[in-house]
Amino acid sequence: MLLSQRMDGEVVAMEAGDIEFPQAFDIVVVGLGTSGSIALIAAARRGLRVLGIERLNSMGGMGTSGSVNGYYFGSHGGIYEILDREAAELCESVYARSGAYNVEAKKYVLEQEAVTAGAELAFEASITGVYLDGRQAVGIEWAGPSGVLRAASKVIIDCTGDAEVCSMAGCATNVGRELDNRTQPFTSVKVYAANQKVNWINFDSGCTDQRDGEELSRAIIFAHSQHLEERYVDGKQRMLYLAPLLGIREGRLIEGEETIRLDDFFADRVTREPLFYAYADIDKHGRDHAFESEELADWFVGSNLGALNVTVPIPLGAMIPKGFDGLMAAGRCLAVDHSLSTCVRMNRDMQKCGEAAATAAWLAIEKGMPLKDVPYETLRNYLAETGCYDPANDKGYQIAYPADRKPPQRVVWLTEREDIRSGLAGDTPGIAIWSAFRLGHAVIGAALREWLGKDDNHLPKHSAFALALLGDEAALHELRGMLAERDAFQLKDCRKNNQMRGYMAIYLLGKLRDEASIDELERLVCNAEELNKPVYKIVDSSDIFKPKKFNEIYFQFFSHAVMALLKIYEDRPEQRERIGGILKRAVGHETYIARITGQKPGTYHHSIAENMKLIVERKVV
Q: Is the pLDDT of residue 544 over 50?
A: no
Task: Give pLDDT, residue 403.
Answer: 57
- 344 Cβ contact partners less than 8 Å away, ≥ 6 residues apart: 260, 278, 280, 312, 314, 332, 334, 336
Specify whether 231 is located in the same domain as 129: no
Q: Domain boundary at 216, 242, 268, which?
A: 242
Task: Supply the pLDDT for residue 488.
Answer: 96
Beta strands in 117-159 (DSSP E): 120-122, 126-133, 136-144, 147-158
Within a domain: 483: yes
Q: How far apart are CA 409 and CA 404, in angstroms?
A: 11
Q: What is the mean pLDDT of residues 593-598?
A: 91
**CA gap 437, 475 in Å, rounded:** 14
- The answer on 10 and 68 residing in a single domain is yes
What's the DSSP call for residue 275?
Answer: S
pLDDT of 540: 55
Domain that holds residue 373: 1-174+250-276+312-391
Report the range of poorest mean pLDDT among 255-269, 444-458, 529-543: 529-543
Specify the pLDDT at position 191. 85
Is 300 inside any structural domain? no
Question: Is 436 within the bounds of a domain?
Answer: no
Asked if 266 and 140 sit in the same domain, the reply is yes
Q: Residue 536 pLDDT > 70, yes or no?
A: yes
8 A C-beta contact, residue 115 and residue 124:
no
- Give the CA dihedral 105, 343, 356, 71, nearest 10 degrees: 20
Tens digits of per-residue pLDDT, 350-392?
999 999 999 999 999 999 999 999 999 999 999 999 999 999 9
Q: Is 143 left (phi over 0), alpha (psi -120 to 50) or beta?
A: beta
Residues 53 and 163 in one domain: yes
- Percentage helix, strand, coil, to 5, in the chain? 45, 20, 40
Residue 26 has pLDDT above 90, yes or no: yes
Residue 236 pLDDT class (50, 70, 90 cuts): low
Q: What is the pLDDT of residue 545?
A: 44
Task: Please tell me the distance from the alpha carbon of residue 261 to that of residue 264, in angstroms, as a whole number.
Answer: 5
Across 195-212, b (16+ Cβ under 10 Å) vs e yields eeebbbebbbbbbbbbee
Confidence (pLDDT) at 546: 52
pLDDT confidence band for 535 (50 / 70 / 90): very high
Q: Which strand ranges, in their side-by-side order, compose the sheet holding 197-206?
A: 197-206, 186-194, 238-242
Indicate the residue type of 109.
Answer: V
For the domain that residue 46 is a member of, what is the CATH number? 3.50.50.60
Has residue 363 been placed in a domain? yes
Is residue 183 within 8 A of residue 162, CB to CB? The reply is: no
pLDDT at 68: 87
User: How far is Cα 59 from Cα 123, in angstroms, rounded to an integer?
Assistant: 9
Q: Are residues 39 and 68 in the same domain?
A: yes
Lowest mean pLDDT among 6-15, 270-279, 353-362: 6-15
DSSP run (H or E) holding 323: none
- Report the Cα 406 to chain-centroid distance in Å: 24
* Residue 20 in domain: yes
Highest mean pLDDT of the ranges 98-107, 131-140, 243-252, 587-596: 131-140
Give the model's pLDDT for residue 541.
45
| Beta-sheet pairing, 50-53 with 24-30 | parallel
The pLDDT, as a whole number, for residue 547 is: 53
CB atoms within 10 A of CB 351: 34
CB–CB of 161/33 below 8 Å?
Answer: yes
Strands of 345-426 (E only): list them. Answer: 398-399, 409-410
Q: For residues 582 and 517, is the Cβ–Cβ distance under 8 A?
A: no
When pLDDT is cut at 50, 70 and 90, the band that residue 103 belongs to is confident
Instruction: Look at residues 331, 362, 391 and tell me which one is the last residue of a structural domain.
Output: 391
**Pair (567, 545) in one structural domain:** yes
The verdict on residue 79 lying in a domain is yes
Percent of the chain at pLDDT > 90 equals 77
Looking at the fold, whether 114 and 229 belong to one and the same domain comes out as: no
Determine the Cα–Cα distance for residues 101 and 547; give it in Å rounded to an integer: 28
Average pLDDT, stretch 583-600?
91
Q: What is the DSSP string of 467-525?
A: HHHTT-GGGHHHHHHHHHHT---B--SSSS-PPBHHHHHHHHHHHTT-GGGHHHHHHHH
Kindly report the backbone phi and psi dihedral angles of residue 199, in degrees, each rounded to the nearest multiple of 5, phi listed first: -120, 165
Assess whether 154 and 193 both reside in one domain: no
User: With contact defined as beta carbons under 8 Å apart, do 255 and 171 qualify?
Assistant: yes
For residues 311, 314, 319 and 320, what is the CA-based torsion angle, rounded to 10 degrees? -140
Q: Could you tell me where the beta strands, DSSP code E, fall in 145-237?
A: 147-158, 173-175, 186-194, 197-206
- Confirm whether 293 is domain-assigned: no
Which residue, 540, 612, 554, 603, is CA-closest to 203?
603
* 101 and 191, same domain (yes or no): no
pLDDT at 542: 45
* Domain-ending residue, one of 358, 391, 424: 391
How much is the pLDDT for 172?
A: 97
Identify whether residues 106 and 193 lie together within a single domain: no
Domain count, the chain: 3
Tell whether 408 is covered by a domain.
no
In the chain, the amino acid numbered 309 is N
Considering the domain architecture, whether residues 229 and 261 belong to the same structural domain is answered as no
The tens digit of pLDDT for each residue in 152-205 reads: 999 999 999 999 999 999 999 999 999 999 999 998 888 887 777 777 887 788
* Cβ proximity of 159 and 578 under 8 Å: no
Query: Do both 69 and 169 map to the same domain?
Result: yes
Phi, psi of 13 (to 5 degrees): -105, 125
* Predicted local confidence at residue 202, as pLDDT: 79
Does the structure show a pLDDT above 60 at 232?
no
